[in-house]
Chain A
Amino acid sequence: MRKPPAILVFLGVCAALLALVPIGYLGLRLVEGFDKAVAEILRFRTLELLGNTFLLVVSVSLGALVLGFIQAWLTTRSNIFLAPVFAVIATLPLAIPSYVLALGYISVFPNFSGFFASWLVLTLATSPFVFLAVSAALVRVDTASEEVARTLGLGRLAVLRKITWPQVRPAATASVLLVALYTLSEFGAIALLRYDTFTRAIYNAYRGSFDRTSAAALAVVLVLITLVVIWFERRYRGDYLENRPALGKRLRVDIGGLRFVAAALLVTVGVFSVFLPVFSLISWSIEGLGVIDFIIVINALWASVSLAVLAGLLIGVFATALAIWNVRYRSKWSEFFEGASWATHAIPAVVVGLALVFFGANVTPWIYQTTVMLLIAYLILFLPNALAAIATPIAQVSRNLEEVSQSLGTPANRTIMKVVLPIAWPGILAGMALASLAVLKELPATLLLRPTEINTLATRLWSATEDLAYSSAAPYALMLVIIAGLPALALNARARKALSEVKG
């Protein structure tokens, strides 16, 4: 085992310790009211919530995996027509906050609610995570071994299962982990669609009864569920495979008449995930244009964009350090700290926000209600989003190159700067973009921690919907979707660039 550079360890440990602040806070609340917490967990209702949550998490994870994988495979490996267009459509739901997606559906179908509605909305909202991760991995798949397997008589599906899948598995499972944790911690859409999960119960405990002990007890259960999910992901992830450069010509698979079926499928998905919500937003926006104050919109836009960029950079630095440490200098410690940074990812943002309110007001008042505190919250909340995207490209940097560099006497730090980072750079940028996207859409922690009188597009959108003024809310939502669309399109452009290399 090689010794990791100190700076990586330092950044990684910092990030993980910050992520543990909310867990420490939960512990404190539990200790305060232990009996009450136990009583809360032992309610029959908890079991019911557990069942609901389990059902939703498993079905959304599977749905997003299947949908994202199909979209990725069709647009990168098959000879489907208009592949670049379908790739854009598969990415765009990333730009639409899931509560906006839900609102879009409700404004068209007032009775849209319950399990199926929640499953549909969350599957559509999260499948881009899988699509992006899997298409990046598919592009780098070693097609030569696929061809060899074909000549040895394996069918298409068998090749997909035995040769292709193992190579994309780490990327796919990491993104499904994101999907699962996203579903666990989702509140906005779930509340609008009226499906009961743990996270909704946690919000209700705060809102209805200001009952911090019950909320903490439920959140601890959520952390335990998260640990189980992470354990499963680690177990089934498989090993990251190093990229072997350019082995043979890449060919798109001819799927013949199935192309039409596939295109129809992708069009249908696009209608439900992008066109319908955007159409509903645009029609509401036209109605609301008259009542919008443009100075307020510009200020909110500026706040959103600057916070997203700053947070993206910050998260990018920490995620890269943690990823290099854990992928290239793997040890028990690196695994522990990487795992710790994931552990809080399913805790609802309101709990993370309140933990930092408590910590900030009482321990670090000099940064409380400043941008610094808000950025720390974003780091805790969205580090895993970047981590999932950055680990794969770092793993794919050839170890030979690194060894050559070091054998020439270049120190480890410099090798990382000169060899690993430049090669993995596009992937790191993608990780930052994913984190920035999540920041743009974040609401509960932003409301609790933002500097007083600073408003983002998301908080403006919230206050407009609080007043039930859909028409004045829609322009903010539309603006949010357009702004978030930029990093989403950039992410897709990267996939398309890789696509052009695939054309045989």
Chain B
Amino acid sequence: MFKKALGALVVASSALALIGCSVQDSPLEKSEITVYAGRSEALVQPLIEQFQQDTGISVKVRYAGSAELAAQLLEEGNNSPADVFFAQDAGALGAVAKAGLMVQMPAEILGMVPSSYSAADGSWVGVSGRVRVFNYNPERVSSVPDSVFDLAAPEWQGRVAIAPTNASFQAFITAMRVTEGNERTAAWLLAMKTNAVIYEKNSAILEAVESGAVDAGLINHYYWFARGKEVGFANMNSRIGQFRAKDLGNLINAAGVGIIADSTAARSFVEFLLSETGQKYFVEETSEYPLIDGVSAGIDLTPLDQVPAPEIDLSDLDDLEATLKLIRDAGLI
């Protein structure tokens, strides 16, 4: 009985989801919006407060992990209290978009950002960039290897830390599949089963490299900068570096936003994140890369177009399933 009722609800809510998908020409007026934020409160709350001051729109923010929030949005279906989903990675945004829970992003917003940092179908838009880097202990590693593929060599056994459950790592593996093919990717993963030390997330890897528990690790660049700001860059035991030009190990990822319930307020929130104020905030406070023209990266960052990154469209990264299969087959998760 109970199960049947729930089943009926699922059917009903997915029907509603289809209706919700269509673009609304005249969005609702709202004076309060709810944002589900998978980003850290300490880092983005000041920016959100600035938005409230500038626009008079009040914002209720629900902070949790991006993946947990995505799961929450999927469970809530069309009855979600959320207006906007502000996530750490393309994977979480993609999962919600795939379930038909996001409203098409207006073209003028999509136009502000290079298309490779947003969803191909325009369901979400990238707002800040981050680069995959090689984090290492200079006492144990003399120089950054040429390529991330070099980490498969026997000399790296037990020395390099990865986080296979982390979204950025998975995006990197998807990129590897897209450019190098499944076979080479599978071989690399298998080598990493032997060579790598597995951690839960980027921050734990950085902690391990800093404390000397491992020699090196693959992380996103801003973790290193955040730590430097906390303890002082001079007190850092580890360094970050890039592989040679166009290497997959230098993949650029984006954090982004999607609109769950359309309104002028929700749109102006997204526009604010992509405004000069918003973009400068990411540069200065979170050490991330700006994604709009006219705002330059921080002085201690290599400009995004000079980062030796592979040319990959982020929206190709929805293909998580196949990536996860490879990671699982290698026994890494």
B-binding residues in A (CB < 8 A): 24-25, 27-28, 31-32, 43, 45, 106, 110-111, 191-192, 194, 201, 204, 206-212, 350, 354, 357-358, 361-363, 365, 368-369, 444, 447-448, 452-453, 463-469, 471
Contact = CB atoms under 8 A, between A and B. Distances in A.
Contacts of B34: 452
Contact of B3 (A24, A354, A463): A24
B244 interface: no
Contact of A45 (B81, B165, B200, B331): B331
Given A28-B10, A210-B74, A350 B68 contact: yes
B307 interface: no
Given A210-B74, A447-B68, A463-B63, A469 B2 contact: no
Interface of B: 2-3, 6-7, 9-10, 13, 34, 40-43, 60-65, 67-68, 70-72, 74-77, 79-81, 91-92, 95, 164-165, 167, 170, 198-200, 203-204, 206-208, 211-213, 223, 226-227, 230, 320-321, 324, 327-328, 331, 333
A463 B40 contact: yes
Nearest to A43: B328
A438 to B, nearest CB: 20
B227 A206 contact: no
A210 B204 CA distance: 22
24 contacts: A28-B3, A28-B7, A32-B10, A191-B200, A194-B198, A194-B199, A206-B67, A209-B321, A210-B92, A350-B68, A354-B71, A354-B72, A357-B75, A357-B76, A363-B9, A368-B81, A447-B68, A448-B68, A453-B60, A463-B40, A463-B41, A463-B63, A467-B226, A468-B230
A365 B79 contact: yes
A28 B230 CA distance: 46
Contact of A210 (B64, B76, B95, B227): B95
A240 to B, nearest CB: 33
Given A362-B13, A466-B65, A110 B208 contact: yes
For the residues of B in contact with A, the DSSP-based class is helix
Nearest to A453: B60
Contacts of B6: 24-25, 28, 358, 363
A31 B11 CA distance: 13
Contacts of B7: 28, 31
A361 B206 contact: no
Given A209-B320, A210-B71, A467-B42, A452 B2 contact: no
Contacts of B60: 452-453
Given A31-B3, A467-B43, A453 B62 contact: yes
A452 B13 contact: no
Contacts of B204: 192
Contacts of B3: 24, 27-28, 31
A204 B333 contact: yes
B61 A452 contact: yes
Contacts of A191: 200
Contacts of A467: 40, 42-43, 203, 226
A201 B92 CA distance: 18
Given A448-B68, A471-B230, A110 B170 contact: no
Contact of A452 (B62, B68, B95): B62
Contacts of A466: 40, 65, 203
B67 A210 contact: yes
A311 to B, nearest CB: 20
Given A28-B3, A467-B43, 18 more contacts: A28-B6, A32-B10, A43-B328, A110-B211, A192-B200, A209-B320, A209-B324, A212-B75, A350-B68, A361-B76, A361-B79, A365-B79, A369-B81, A463-B41, A463-B42, A467-B226, A468-B203, A471-B230
Contacts of B75: 212, 354, 357-358, 361
Given A45-B331, A210-B70, A463-B40, A361 B165 contact: no
A118 to B, nearest CB: 13
A206 B10 contact: no
Contact of A362 (B40, B72, B77, B203): B77
B128 to A, nearest CB: 16
Contacts of A201: 333
A191 B91 CA distance: 21
A338 to B, nearest CB: 21
Contacts of B165: 204, 207-208
Contacts of A28: 3, 6-7, 10
Interface centre among A32, A110, A192 (most CB of B within 10 A): A110
A351 to B, nearest CB: 10
Contacts of A350: 68
